[in-house]
Structure 1
Amino acid sequence: MFDPGKLRTMKQRDLKTKLPAAYWRLWWASAVDNVGDGIFSAAVPLLTVALTRDPVLVSVVSAATYLPWLLLSLPAGALVDRRDRVGLLWRSQALQAAIVAVAAVLIGLGRIGIAGLAVTGFGLSACEVVFATASLAVVPDLVSEAQLHRANGSQYAIASAGQLFVGPPIGSLLFAGAAALPFGVDAVSFAGSAALLAALPRRPVPRGVRPPVRVAVAEGVRWLGRHRLLRTLAGLLAVNTFCYQLGNVTVVLLATQTLHVSERGYGVLLAGAAAGSVLGGTVNARVVAKIGALPALLTALIANVVIFVLIGASPNAVVLGALLGVNGFATTLWSVVTVSLRQQAVPTDLRGRVHSVYRMLGWGLMPLGSLAGGLIADVLGIRAAYPVAGAVRGIALVAALPVLLSAMRAGKPAR
């Protein structure tokens, strides 16, 4: 039976046990891929604002990038539970390499616009839905249960380092040289990741009669619906990611137009968020061992609310970067806790479907968050988006508080 206090009882020897070689192959693949993603994440908004200064059109590109999480998460989960997960990992990365390579050529020829960027973002994210779902399902096959929190923390740390710390400054520098360069480098990173993933050990694919996809998806939905803590966290994640994107879609405008940060400086600014995220991923296992998983989660969520309100009032780029860094630390801390709780609780044969339901609820509102952020910035001003998002996050946290406190009390005897 699942015990929410179980992660709290980790021994120091569990923190020091070496992670297996197969896990580190996955880690290196993530490292290569996420550096490329960081390059891409800096280049896309810069190219977007080079094509248009309309905040609504800027938000359309972001919304298209997140739309596949709403449309494809559920069928992707069923696919992950009935197919070779390693095969899905490397094939999705190979397809992403092809998509972004085509985009690089079009950009080099000067034949891409807002619609082309939106289509590229949609295609890459469609592959990412499969990749992310399979990746979460694979980790428990590679490490022991006692190592889950540290393994997930290391994955989040390298993702944050690549996407927000290493990649963005490189992407900004490459974009300043030629708009197509960062996209070409991203294509190479996807290909390198695919090559590493293809050598991961395979888990036998379940045989026998398989129910229709619709029935299989419904089974995952019902399982999550019966789990009070995880369904509450899924709903909380939905609101938080909606609000994150509501604010985040305007950060490029806040930095470049309001605070007058240069193209190169924008990439460095994003590195502030990455520094906090990397630190959060690195120390999360020790924080959880010290104060407990759910107390760490609740503290991080409260910090997110306060920080979002403050970001909107940032007087300069230094303060904005510092706030983004603290926010990155808090976000990574609660993200790792929730992922580890899910991996610990969900049966192996349901892992892909439950993760996909969770991701759909968590990420499905992000396109709406992008559009809402663009509209709020257009009507109320660029600085307004983050405080509005912080207020909404605070209301959601208050609503979820009884369930979180109940789970914390239930976990106390296991301390």
Structure 2
Amino acid sequence: MPDERTATEKPENTDMRAERMRTLKRWPGQQRLGPKYWRLWSATSISGVGSGMTMAAIPLLSVVYSSDPRVVSLVTAAAFLPALLFGLHSGAIVDREDRRRLMLAADGVRLLVVALFAVLVVGGRGSIQWLLVVAFILGSAEILFENAASAFVPMLVSRSSLGSANSKLLATQTVSMQFIGIPLGGTLFVLAASAPFVVDAMTYAIALALILAIKGSYATSGRNAGDRRTVTAGPQGTVWQDVREGAAWLWRHKPLRGLAILTAALNLAGATGESTLVLYASRVLGLDERGYAFLLSLLAVGAIAGSLVAARARGRFGTVRTLGAAGAAMGAGFVVPATTSSLPATIAALIAVGAASMVWNVVTVTARQELVPDVLLGRVTSAYRVVALGVLPLGAVLGGVVASKYGLHAPWVAASALMVGASIVAVMPDGLREIDRRLAVARQPAGPAHKDGQ
């Protein structure tokens, strides 16, 4: 077999060859992504299990405190509201401060809140009012953590590894939260209403230790700790100036702006349908607490499949066609609970929705990381998330009102129509077609010089 080494390359000695063979025996992808990434991956996996238990317990507890669909949907809205109120400011903070420290602070707050709420529940002093407060604080901490984490990943891995890193991270978050955490949370809730919150606090403590083990400075000025990319300067003005700069960059970047608006339409539809899912599961499908948790875990089953094909589909069909297909699949999945009360059909639909949602998330997150300059990534990400997630409280409240007036099938009817419409817009000539060209330019060796907001 011909030797393909160039004239300047030295042949491997025995020690080099032995080290290479040891590396190849590691978990696939570990050499490329690095140990710091895998610590982050482990932290999100473990905390995801606890978050999934809380995700199952909060709506179940809200039904204990009130059976009114409007009140139940308010709990969902309270968790989503921080994205609208604090999203932009959190991005400015992410670009100003050490991203690792921000993640530690957010997880510390979540640990304290769930532990204190568990004490209230154990003492019989829990109420719908306290549940609203807890949902709001956890949602606020989650916004800061996710913005920081999204901007943190490009500091740990190379640009060519972003697709793989995002697929693994998002898939793990979904699986640990929905496939493990949610069913476990439903089971523990039956035994003791406080148990999911107690275990969640423990998982946050472990996640804090793992993030602490990621050594280095991860602010946006200077060379990042991973030594993969150099950042020339961080934010220089006031927080409000930084907020405006990130929002203005997103507004000028037509493809990303369109992608944010389309994601908002899908999220509005999703929140409208899913805000009363706990009532749909019990009243329409006849499921108990563990059955509801099982229903939510089906989204993770689909997400596993979605994570395996997302990067491959994007590479073969392009960003726009992949997103169009994912949006259409989500809309088709929502048609099922809108038109039937069949449990098997609902199971199949939720698996399909989980797969399509994961594809959409992996493709959009990776595209955003590739297109946005490092020094603006936190601010642009937060502006993007305000547009994309700011509609969630509206969708949650809308779903509760519609369900209260027209029945538990009605929110899914509106949601499916909106999702199919958004997927059609995505593939229209004036939709997102330009994003594939922008991505091709951004991947050229010149890198940041091409990452403009024009």
**Is 2:348 aligned against 1:322?**
yes
Q: Distance in 2 between matches of 1:402 and 1:129?
A: 33
Contact 1:93-1:127 within 8 A present in 2 as well: yes
Which of 177, 186, 189 lines up with 2:200 in the alignment? Answer: 186
1:349-360 map, 5 Å: 349-360=375-386
Letter in 2 for 1:308: F
- Per-residue deviation, 1:399: 3.9
**Is 2:290 aligned against 1:264?**
yes
Q: Distance in 1 between matches of 2:107 and 2:435?
A: 39
Q: Distance in 1 between matches of 2:135 and 2:212?
A: 24
Q: Are residues 219 and 314 of structure 1, via their aligned partners in 2, closer, same or farther at CA, if it must alter by over 3 Å?
A: same
State the secondary structure of the residue aligned to 1:224: helix
1:245-324 map, 5 Å: 245-324=271-350
1:325-365 CA distances to partner (integer Å, 9 max, x unpaired)? 10010011011111101000100110000000011111111
State the secondary structure of the residue aligned to 1:382: coil
TM-score, normalized by length of structure 2? 0.85
For the pair shown, the structure with the greater C-alpha radius of gyration is: 2
- Matched residue, 1:165: 179
**Is 2:225 aligned against 1:210?**
no
Q: Distance in 2 between matches of 1:324 and 1:257?
A: 18
Contact 1:229-1:403 within 8 A present in 2 as well: no
Q: Distance in 1 between matches of 2:430 and 2:89?
A: 29
Q: Are residues 249 and 208 of structure 1, via their aligned partners in 2, closer, same or farther at CA, if it must alter by over 3 Å?
A: closer
1:52-79 CA distances to partner (integer Å, 9 max, x unpaired)? 1100000111111110000000110000
- Matched residue, 2:433: 406
Structure 2 alignment gaps of length 5 or more: 1-27, 222-232, 444-454
Contact 1:220-1:350 within 8 A present in 2 as well: yes
Letter in 1 for 2:38: W
- Would you say how many aligned residue pairs link Structure 1 and Structure 2? 401
- Per-residue deviation, 1:273: 1.0
- Matched residue, 1:335: 361
Q: Are residues 69 and 409 of structure 1, via their aligned partners in 2, closer, same or farther at CA, if it must alter by over 3 Å?
A: closer
Q: Distance in 1 between matches of 2:262 and 2:436?
A: 19
Q: Are residues 360 and 114 of structure 1, via their aligned partners in 2, closer, same or farther at CA, if it must alter by over 3 Å?
A: same
**Is 2:401 aligned against 1:375?**
yes
- Matched residue, 2:98: 84
Structure 1 alignment gaps of length 5 or more: 1-14
Contact 2:323-2:423 within 8 A present in 1 as well: no
**Is 2:245 aligned against 1:219?**
yes
Letter in 2 for 1:300: A
Which of 104, 127, 137 lines up with 1:123 in the alignment? Answer: 137
Contact 1:68-1:125 within 8 A present in 2 as well: yes
1:225-269 CA distances to partner (integer Å, 9 max, x unpaired)? 111110000011111111111101111111111110111111111
Contact 2:97-2:219 within 8 A present in 1 as well: no
- Per-residue deviation, 1:405: 5.6
Which of 372, 380, 385 lines up with 2:411 in the alignment? Answer: 385
- Per-residue deviation, 1:199: 2.0
- Per-residue deviation, 1:209: 7.7
**Is 2:156 aligned against 1:142?**
yes
- Per-residue deviation, 1:142: 0.6
**Is 2:64 aligned against 1:64?**
no
Q: Are residues 290 and 21 of structure 1, via their aligned partners in 2, closer, same or farther at CA, if it must alter by over 3 Å?
A: same
State the secondary structure of the residue aligned to 1:18: helix
1:264-284 CA distances to partner (integer Å, 9 max, x unpaired)? 111111111110012212332
Q: Distance in 2 between matches of 1:79 and 1:346?
A: 17
- Matched residue, 2:65: 51
Query: Which structure 1 residue ranges, 4+ long, deviate > 4 Å from structure 2?
Result: 408-415
Contact 1:232-1:403 within 8 A present in 2 as well: no
Q: Are residues 218 and 161 of structure 1, via their aligned partners in 2, closer, same or farther at CA, if it must alter by over 3 Å?
A: same
Q: Are residues 310 and 194 of structure 1, via their aligned partners in 2, closer, same or farther at CA, if it must alter by over 3 Å?
A: same
Q: Distance in 1 between matches of 2:433 and 2:313?
A: 21
**Is 2:255 aligned against 1:229?**
yes
Q: Are residues 126 and 184 of structure 1, via their aligned partners in 2, closer, same or farther at CA, if it must alter by over 3 Å?
A: same
Q: Identical aligned pairs, as a percentage?
A: 38
Contact 2:99-2:219 within 8 A present in 1 as well: no
State the secondary structure of the residue aligned to 1:389: helix
More helix by share: 1
1:70-129 CA distances to partner (integer Å, 9 max, x unpaired)? 000011000000001000011110111000101100011111111110000001111111
**Is 2:361 aligned against 1:362?**
no
Contact 1:40-1:186 within 8 A present in 2 as well: yes
- Per-residue deviation, 1:290: 2.7
Contact 1:34-1:162 within 8 A present in 2 as well: yes
Which has the larger displacement, 395-404 or 37-46? 395-404
Q: Are residues 345 and 117 of structure 1, via their aligned partners in 2, closer, same or farther at CA, if it must alter by over 3 Å?
A: same
1:159-212 CA distances to partner (integer Å, 9 max, x unpaired)? 110121101110011000000000111111111111111222322453788311
- Matched residue, 1:41: 55
- Per-residue deviation, 1:412: 11
